[in-house]
A = this chain, B = another copy of it.
Amino acid sequence: MIRAAVLGGAGYIGGELLRLLLGHPEVELAAAVSSRLGGKRIDSTHPNLRGLTDLTFCAEEELEQYDVLLLAAGHGATMELLPRLAGHAKTLIDLSGDFRLTDPAVYEAYYGLPHTAPELLGDFVPGAPELAREALRGADRIAVPGCMATAAILALRPLAAEQLIEPDVTVDARTGSSGSGATAGPANTHAERSGAMRVFAPAGHRHEAEIAQSCGVRPTMTATGVEAVRGVQVLCRATLRDGVDETAVRRAYRRHYADEPFVRVVAQRRGMYRLPEPKVLSGSNYCDVGFAVRPEARQVLAVAALDNLVKGGAGNAVQSLNIRMGWPERLGLEFPGLHPV
């Protein structure tokens, strides 16, 4: 048993970390920090945890020593916090956007503010087991990718890595409302957000930079909020290189993901759930990846779906921790999702 602490535990990614760590057989959830809710029970914010714990939120100042500290704070804030919190744990896993990009200039371009700890960027290993499993084994600084980025990277990586596609790709991302966090505001009230198809990022979404960095492609991404609480789906379009056909595409996906515990290739010719869809993934750590080839147009459509709070955040963090600790990779992440839901 190791001792873990979560910072930002009142948010949605934070709450999902609490759920997963409370159910993890090798982890003791020792502390959950909330600047706003100090002293309140964590199950008063996350009612699904009732009966599982009597833990209350604490203030940052009350943090002690832990084996691992997971940070689910906002971008901008995290690069300020991290240096001062680093002493509380040997292993830090950050779920913000602050330590995902290796180039501080790219960070500034996409986040609109200069990076205040550029010297630390090189310390971080991506919390993306499919990309960085070996590096994660010894990692003590882990930066979990963004939810839409994870989906797009897992959709595009086999094609990009095997040079099956041209570098210009488009990414049409759709996301549920939990992706914008737990803070109330005019744009996320139920009456306004319900039934939405809201193109909140017609261009230049931050996750673009992560996709470019991880896949070596030039993505143009749009992001649309659709009716769902959890769930991300991406549709990526690329031009196939000369001579690449459906067989080559299928083979690339199979090869890359044959041994992955949490990536399933879903690309069927018929059936209701023939391509990846997030609704059956709620609560699970799977990312489903599929594709459709349009040979006459030399185009491939790569589709991926995941639960933005799990494989798009907290689950990827726990999977990375499992690898870091040498535990079985599926430990604490066995929930397969529901049907129907």
Interface residues of A (CB under 8 A from B): 12, 15, 19, 22-23, 44, 46-52, 170, 172, 174, 176-178, 182, 184-199, 202-204, 220, 222, 224, 226-231, 233, 235, 237, 264, 266, 271-275, 277-284, 286, 288, 292, 294, 297, 299, 301, 303, 305, 334-341
Q: A202 touches which one: B170, B220, B275 (CB < 8 A)?
A: B275
Which of B172, B196, B299 has a CB less than 8 Å from the CB of A235?
A: B172
User: From residue A190, how far is it (CB to closest CB) to chain B in Å?
Assistant: 4
Q: How far is the CB of A103 from chain B (nearest CB, A)?
A: 17
Question: Given A177-B191, A226-B174, A272-B186: A51 and B197 within 8 A (CB)?
Answer: no
Whether B280 and A338, one on each chain, are in contact in the complex, defined by CB atoms closer than 8 angstroms, is: no
Add 6 more A-B contacts to A194-B194, A220-B294, A226-B227 (CB < 8 A).
A22-B336, A174-B224, A190-B190, A199-B292, A224-B235, A283-B335
Select A196's contact among B12, B48, B279, B335, beta carbons within 8 Å: B279
Q: How many copies does the complex hold?
A: 4
Chain B residues, CB < 8 A from A197: 174, 226, 228, 231, 233, 277-279, 305
Asked if B233 and A275 sit within 8 Å, CB to CB, the answer is: no
Q: CB distance A229 to B292 under 8 Å?
A: no
Contact yes or no, A170 B237, CB < 8 A: yes
Residues from chain B with Cβ under 8 Å of A44 in the complex: 271
- Interface pair A275/B184, CB less than 8 Å apart: no
Closest to A18 in B: B339
- Chain B residues lying within 8 Å of A284, measured Cβ to Cβ, are 48
Q: Which residues of B contact A50 (CB under 8 A)?
A: 264, 266, 288
Kindly state the separation between the CA atoms of A195 and B15 in the bound complex, as whole angstroms. Answer: 19
A191 is contacted by which of B12, B23, B196, B198 (Cβ under 8 Å)?
B12
Check A49 against B336 for contact (C-beta < 8 Å). yes
Residue of B with least CB distance to A203: B294
Residues from chain B with a CB closer than 8 A to the CB of A48 are 280-281, 284, 336-339
* A172–B173 CA distance with the chains assembled, in angstroms: 11
Beta-carbon contact of A341 and B230 below 8 Å: yes
- Asked whether A195 lies within 8 Å of B338 as measured between CB atoms, the reply is no
Least CB distance from A155 to B in Å reads 12
A286:B229 contact, CB within 8 angstroms: no
Query: Bound complex: CA of A18 vs CA of B277, how far in Å?
Result: 21
Nearest chain B CB to A156 CB, angstrom units? 16
Flag if A297 contacts B220 (CB, 8 Å). yes
Q: List 7 A-B contacts (CB under 8 A).
A: A19-B336, A47-B266, A47-B272, A182-B340, A186-B272, A199-B303, A222-B301
